[in-house]
Structure 1
Amino acid sequence: MQTVRRSVSSFWKASFRPVSCSAMHENKRLKLYAATLGCGVLLALGAPARAAQTACKVDRHAPAVRLSGTVTDQSNGVVIGANVTLVCGDYHEQTQTTADGSYSISAPQGSYTLEVKSPGYQAIHEPVRLSEAGAQLKNLKLQVGTAVSIVSVTAPTGYVATSSTTATKTGLPLIETPQTISVITGDQLVQRDVQSMNQALNYTAGVGTATYGADPRFDWFNIRGFDESTYGMYRDNLRWQSGQVEGEIEPYDLQEIDVIKGPSSVLYGQNTPGGLVNLVTKRPEAYPSNELIAQFGSFDRKQVQGDFGGPLDANAHLRYRIVGLYRNSGTQVNYVPDDRDFIAPSFTWAPSSRTTLTILTDYQHDNTGWSQFLPAQGTLYANPNGKIPTDTFTGQPGFDFFHRQQWSLAYLFEHHFGKIWTFRQAFRYSRIAFDGNDAFGGGLAPDLKTLYRFGYSDALTLGMYAVDNQAFAQFKTGKVQQSVLAGLDYSHADALQISGFSAAPSIDIYKPDYHQTIATPVPYLKTDQPSWQNGVYLQDLVKFTPKIIATLSGREDWTGMATKDLLFGAPTTKQNPSRFTGRVGGTYLSSIGLAPYFSYSTSFLPTTGVNFYGQPFKPTTGNQYEGGLKYQPRHTNSFITASFYNINENNVQEPDPNNPNNTVQTGSVRSRGVELEAVASLMHGLDVHASYSYDDEKVTKAVPASEIGTRPVLIPKDLISLHTHYTFSSGLLSGLGLGGGVRYTGTVAGDAANTFILPGYTLFDVSGQYYWKSMEFQVTGTNVGDKIYVPICTSISYCNYGSRRNVIGNVQYHWGSWRHIF
């Protein structure tokens, strides 16, 4: 079944379709259509526009007519997952081609523009008339365009994604990839008005979010039982963090988020075996599109943001985009702000369909505070003095702060040589610096109300650059189709960290006195830690028949790191581990859209430092067996994945039973589980995202032996979520959208011995939108039941509350050409 998509991005992109600029000037009738229908617009800043959709007409009360057919390429091979869209003004019907390349879409009688888009092919824009004569057949053939990659990928249209550029770096359709992948599209981000990475990942199978509770500084999350907040963060397929939790990405600057489950070292190098998250930055696009949003919400939140862009010449060879945001806000904790300044200009030069160069820049400044160290008595457990309020601030005004500045400069280059070879190069330099003080709680006195405190300071400066070079070839040997990717990447990071400590006066946690003085923290740590990684990889995607696909890939990594003690002059420790990782997988594509698959993959992660005897630590290694079934039903805009996995991680650090000052790498962890995830647009305007995850993670080797069989800390065993959204497309309620979601997080272990078991909790979210002409009004609420819960408690002295109810309202205005404004 097909769907009506009226999300912000789809709703407005549908209004701007390619017609030559000269035609706009020469054809007054076309100009009139553009003005009256809102379909053709002039370019931003007064440049000639590339913009108008041809005249269209639709009677939403007329009977629906079915249009179907098959989408193939030049060699008559079927194209899976192509976006097929019928557009007329603000009316927008969309579906995707299924496993046999077929599509079926229905719309009321009328005249439309039929659009077909698929990564790596030139888009089709054709006029179509649906008449009362009945069902119509239209087969379509796509011409090869620029090879797909993270360089040229555009935001996926609609709620359901069918491909990803992250898992194989080639844009292979999800149904052909022998690994579990979750794609959070731009429409999903807009529909839920996502304000953080944690919020973006809330409904994704296998991902636990907000591991440390309400913390405005960082996004903490785990995948399949392994923390991915540091080594698991990538941006445009380039490493973004290097083992320190330091930066935070503004979600308004993202067009897509890809979550890859399981070991991914074969294409990305050092990483934990849980997987990775790749953040795809917004790119300049070939049509003018602008929006301005004013936002107000809980905790005195005030925010204004804008996204402006389009072509700078008639043929859209030059394009620009500027994304910006200003926020002044409090949080659920007293004296902790959540202020941000952000701007991200970007430019694209595409002199031909073979060559693309995109430059991405951004700058961000944050003013916020720390998460709270609250005692278990009064949060998780009862306290005779009562419940500790969730807005309790354990720090000291005037002493506590957290400031961060981060910026980056990147370019993405791609050139297509003929029909076979493509060269790509991606580069990013980023610099992140933060500085902060915190007076944190250290447990309660016997009266269970006096909180011991300590002063702490932390400052970190990280400079990092990463480059990835790729040679990609697509060719046929007899009946066998191959896509070969060869790559060489390099990254270098240098982190300078200074930490200090001091005593601090106690406070009554129920009646805190903030008129006290805390001594300046005395540095106890000052280290410089340069590190680098160089890897070479090769991947071959082999399609033996239209139904049998094999994935073979391998990589060799060479790494280096050093830890320089700049405070006490201790000897510098150096490590240079190297490792081979690989992946092998197979997929069978059935004619009904079912695709069983199996894969085996490995990972490695260097461990910094040396043991008590001066011996460098060995890298942590991991491996995964995964099998499952993917289903992309025919005639239905949906995608379903069911997977089973078994991950083993070895060389895990633990205390040496024979020497309390030493650490040994004798530990092992096994993560075994099941994931179910379905994303669908079931009928006109109804979107559904459902997921279930069960993760049975256990310690399999440990000293002492009593910890064998225990559950690693802060990893939920069960995750269940359901989010639905319906947009009315006709009648009196046309333009109204209503949504809601429920999220359940199961029990977690607080400490290694599992003496703290935190209860599970269920949260509810809601949203509502109304589209009126060029305006949109939106209200979203997370944890609308205002449930008070404790997601973390690692000891009797350290617990933290989860996020309280947060309601945000938006007023949005969208337009095409700036001439509509001036």
Structure 2
Amino acid sequence: MAFSRFRNSKDSFRIVGEVALLALVLCIGLSSMASAAEQQTVRSFNIPAQPLKTSLEQFAEQADVQMLYALDVVEGLQSQPVVGDYTPEQALGIMLAGTGLIMERTDSNTMAVRKPTNVGAAAGAAAAGGAASQKPVKVPEILVKDIRERDNDTKSFVAEEASTATRTDTPIRDVPQSIQVITRKVIEEQRAFRLIEATQNVSGINTGGGTGPTGVFDNFIIRGFQANTNNFFRNGLWDGVAQQVGPDTYNIQRLEVLKGPASVLYGQGDPGGIINIVTRKPLPDPRYSGNVTLGNFNFYRSEIDATGPLNAGKTFLYRLSVAGQKANSFIDFVNRDMMAIAPSVTWLMSARTTLTVEADYLRRWYNNIPSFAVPGQGSVLPNINGELPRSMYTGLPNFDKNDRRSYRISYDLTHQFNDRWSIRNAYRYAILEYDAFNAAPNNLLADQRTLTRLWTNNESSVTRRHQQSMITNLVGHFRLLEMDHTLLTGVELRQDQNNPQILTNRPVPSLDLFAPNYALVPGAPTGTSFSGSDTKLAGFYLQDQIALLPNLKFMGGFRFDYVHQTITSGTTEATGVERDSDNTAVSPRLGLVYQPIEEVSLYTSWMRGFLPNAPTVFNPNGTLFEPERSTQYEIGIKNFFLNNRVSTTLAWFHLTRENLLTQDPVIPFFQVQTGKQRSQGIELDVTASLIAGWNVIASYAYTDAEVTADNNPALLNKRLGNVPYNKATIWSTYHFQEGPLKGFGLGGGIYGYTSRNASIFGPGQTEIPGYVRVDTAFYYDRELPQGNWLRAKEVNVALNFRNLLDQRYVDSAQNPLTRFWFGEPRTVLATVGLRF
């Protein structure tokens, strides 16, 4: 699917394409320097006789290879002991003696175990009418590795690799930047249905205004700065729809949070960091699961997930995930209903080529979020009339609504030229639709009970947003000047188009907070405004990871971006004025990792980011503003102990944001680009699987974020909104592995936030009080005997309590006067699930 051409920018687009083409040719040329084979090495093995599955896991770790095998093939088999120095092939051959299985090396990093004949394929062909058996296709290394990571994500809180930081398969310990991973196991054990619920486990992430179980948007603040639509990605592709519709975790395998400016690989964005959603993909072995969750506030939710092969040769794989939710909330008149479906298919086209096609549909419909907000007086400040209840609704329940739908379809094509060079091309097309009306809080009068309200909505049609994103990456591993290199080069094309819309303004009667009349209706229209926009982006990036020494690694890269924006605005469509702008930026990153011992990585990095200003604002001389620029310095230490069962990251960062707009001190109603903001602090993240059944995830962040330069004296040195100085979290679960309590488990967590500023704007500095929230959970997991009437393998039961002590607290704010959001009261969720 082609992108529309960049108007008034043909030369710039051509230059980007020529530079990208030259880089691709250069990388392909360098691939000829790479050796086609690696020397086989002798390793020390110490693997006792035990169940074969356990032996294969230990072998993979000791041989430093990836293992591919079907669970049903190794089930019930015992391995032979392997003790001594052998090549991997020799060791695996000894281990498999007497099992009837054979091994093969699919490439330099992958070994497979299978039956001597393709029994499954033959049986399938016979059932289809006696057709000849299909020849097994060697599974590409990229998919083998991906399958192994997905399996680990469901068993442990600890992740060893994350592709978001480098767009390559680089261990986290080798990345000179802070990156945290929330695995599927954390999501399931916490019953985290929204992104904001899962990312609460990550240091330096806080909620923005209107976020939570009753919110439409997922508003994140990362390292002190608001994350907007440019900061959300899905499988490495930009996903601007995500924030606007509130992603659900039913189809999420893991979340990867990269801290700091990410423009070097991901282009324009706010500087705090990015969130990359990794979705669940098809698997070669059949797996089926379903669960039902019931809770207070009339909460009902069900999920179904199915995956497996579509043909006997397992060259076509599928996955289907479905979720539905019907629920009220702790706020009067507010429902939070949802439905979603995500089908995907993977085609193993050859031994080195895979194609995955995904689609998903998500719909959320409920009342709009500004209506949920309450004034500061009565929530965080005293009110002469008394305290406001958490259930207070400040809108028009007979008129307010928010019906949001997202549609996505994408493909992801990967090809390995050989063991060292691979290419990936991925594309996504997404549509966001929303039909929304709402009355929003405006001002609280002197009597501290009369709330004025606003109404500005698109009443004439459904608002639509269209987005396209495509990347092509070439990755090569080669040796040059006696040093190992991992070279990445790529291009990205992106488009974000908001269909023109007309917003209608209406007067809304004021609300008496302590004697609300919900029968009031909005008045006649008083005016309209017209707007539409189209943003196109082309980027080229180049990155090299160099092993200067076995324990000293350098990373350097840059990205060139060209952004063309068109915005149309006015009071009506006839009076709309079109303005456009062209911006370019170069975003570099440099980093160094030193590993004094294998388990410890000391790192430092420097990077820059950018974000274009809209073409609707001008300097006093009539010229457009330059893009905002951000700069980050970071140093830290990463540790992986106890055979990678414990992972820690301790980081110090200094992050600045420049070229911000501020009031011109000389010319009224104009702005100048002299504003600055700074965020700095210390972050600690820990994940651990200490012993079998015991998992821990914990974090701490000290964040000092404030305005450092502004022409408005009232803003200078003000703390940025919704950013506490201190945030600390811990969540831990333990599942009994033996004895009379085998199958039972328990978990619990504490989430603590110190006070924070509601907003940098407005009079004074309204403080949101700090709070401590306690969660807990109980589990029962039982494997079912074969032949049971359900035909199920396992039953899972969970009982989760959020805010166990029913703490009353304000979660976030949007301004210092009238928009404060209460946190969720005590919530109980009971889940029953089956796995087949």
TM-score between the two structures when normalised by the length of structure 1: 0.82
- Cα deviation, 1:448-468, whole Å, max 9, x if unaligned, reads 323222323256321000000
Q: For 2:756 and 2:547, how far apart are their aligned partners in 1?
A: 43
- Alignment-derived partner of residue 451 in structure 1: 451
Change (3 A) 1:296 1:121: farther
> 1:189-245, CA deviations, whole angstroms, 9 ceiling, x for partnerless residues?
112111101001011011113543544201111111111142211111111118x95
1:667-696 Cα deviation digits (max 9, x unpaired): 111111111111001112111111111111
Which one of 249, 252, 270 corresponds to residue 251 of structure 1?
249
Alpha-carbon offset, residue 121 of structure 1: 4.3
Q: Indicate the residue corresponding to 1:796 in structure 2.
A: 817
Cα 1:150–1:359 change in 2 (3 A) is: farther
Task: Give the counterpart of 1:785 among 791, 800, 805.
Answer: 805
2:608 to 596, 602, 606: 602
Return the offset for 1:314: 2.4
Paired residues of 1:327 and 1:339 also in contact (CA < 8 A): yes
Residue of structure 1 equivalent to 2:46:
none
| Pairwise CA distance, 1:523 | 5.5
Contact 1:150 1:169 in 2 (8 A): no
Cα distance, 1:312–1:521 mapped onto 2, change above 3 Å: farther
Uncovered stretches (5+) of structure 2, i.e. residues with no partner: 1-48, 78-87, 89-98, 116-137, 785-793
Return the structure number with greater relative CO, CA threshold 8 A, min gap 6.
1
* 8 A contact 2:68–2:144 mirrored in 1: no
1:752 corresponds in structure 2 to 760
> What corresponds to 1:46 in structure 2?
none
Would you say 1:216 and 2:211 are equivalent positions? no
- CA deviation digits over 1:731-751, x for unaligned, max 9? 111111211010112221123
Q: Secondary structure of the equivalent of 1:252? A: helix
**Does 1:189 find its partner at 2:184?**
no
CA RMSD of aligned residues (A): 3.3
Find out whether 1:528 has 2:532 as its counterpart.
yes
Whether contact under 8 Å (1:639, 1:679) holds in the other structure is yes
Letter of the 1:146 partner, please give it: E
* Structure 1 pair 65–562 and aligned structure 2 pair: CA distance change class (3 A): closer
**Deviation of 1:175 (Å):** 0.3
- Residue 480 in 1 paired to residue 483 in 2? yes
1:767 aligns with 2:777: yes
In 2, Cα distance between equivalents of 1:733 and 1:395: 50
* Aligned residue number for residue 340 of structure 1: 338
Counterpart position of 1:122: 110
- Check whether the contact 2:207–2:220 (CA below 8 A) recurs between aligned residues: yes
Give the alignment partner of residue 305 of structure 1, picking from 264, 279, 303: 303
Q: Which residue does 1:32 correspond to in 2? A: none
Q: Report if the CA contact (8 A) 1:151-1:414 is conserved.
A: no
Q: 2:730 corresponds to which residue?
A: 722
Choose which of 572, 579, 593 in structure 2 pairs with 1:573: 579
Secondary structure at the aligned position of 2:196 is classed as helix
Q: Residues 224 and 274 of structure 1 are in contact (CA less than 8 Å); yes or no, is this contact kept in structure 2?
A: yes
Distance 1:411 1:727 in 2: 39
Q: For residue 392 of structure 1, what is the aligned residue in structure 2?
A: 392
Residues 139-538 of structure 1: pairs in structure 2 closer than 5 A: 145-147=140-142, 155=150, 157=152, 158-214=156-212, 215-241=214-240, 246-371=244-369, 372-458=372-458, 460-477=463-480, 479-496=482-499, 497-519=501-523, 524-538=528-542
**In 1, are the aligned partners of 2:68 and 2:113 still within 8 Å (CA)?**
no
Residue number in structure 2 paired with 1:619: 627
| 2:645/2:690 contact within 8 Å kept | yes
- Corresponding residue for 1:692? 700
Q: Deviations over 1:361-403 (max 9, x none)?
A: 0111211122323122211122232211111111112211001
Matches of 1:115 and 1:566, distance apart in 2: 69
Distance 1:123 1:657 in 2: 68
Contact 1:637 1:680 (C-alpha < 8 Å) held by counterparts: yes
Q: Which amino acid aligns with 1:630?
A: K
CA distance in 2, matches of 1:261, 1:118: 36
**Secondary structure of 2:394's aligned partner:** coil
- Cα deviation 1:339-381 (Å, max 9, x = unaligned): 1111111100013330100000011121112232312221112
Is 2:645 aligned against 1:637? yes
Which amino acid is the alignment partner of residue 591 of structure 1?
I
Provide closer, same or farther for how the CA distance between residues 752 and 222 of structure 1 changes in structure 2, counting only shifts above 3 A.
same
1:808–1:649 Cα change, 3 Å = same
Flag the 1:253–1:118 CA change in 2: closer, same or farther, 3 A: farther
- For residues 24-35 of structure 1, what are the structure 2 equivalents within 5 Å? none
Note the C-alpha offset of 1:521: 5.0
SS for the counterpart of 2:265 is: helix
Deviations 1:238-264 (A, max 9, x none): 11118x952221211110100000111
Amino acid at match of 1:604: F
CA distance in 2 between partners of 1:271 and 1:152 (Å): 31
Identity, in percent, stands at: 26
| Letter matched to residue 519 of structure 2 | H
Going from structure 1 to structure 2, the CA distance change for 1:610 and 1:665 (only over 3 Å counts) comes to: same
SS of the equivalent of 2:364 reads strand
Change (3 A) 1:123 1:505: farther
Offset at residue 566 of structure 1 (A): 5.8
The residue type equivalent to 1:722 in the other structure is I
> Aligned letter for 2:110?
Q
When residues 584 and 612 of structure 1 are mapped into structure 2, their CA distance, relative to the original with a 3 A threshold, is: closer
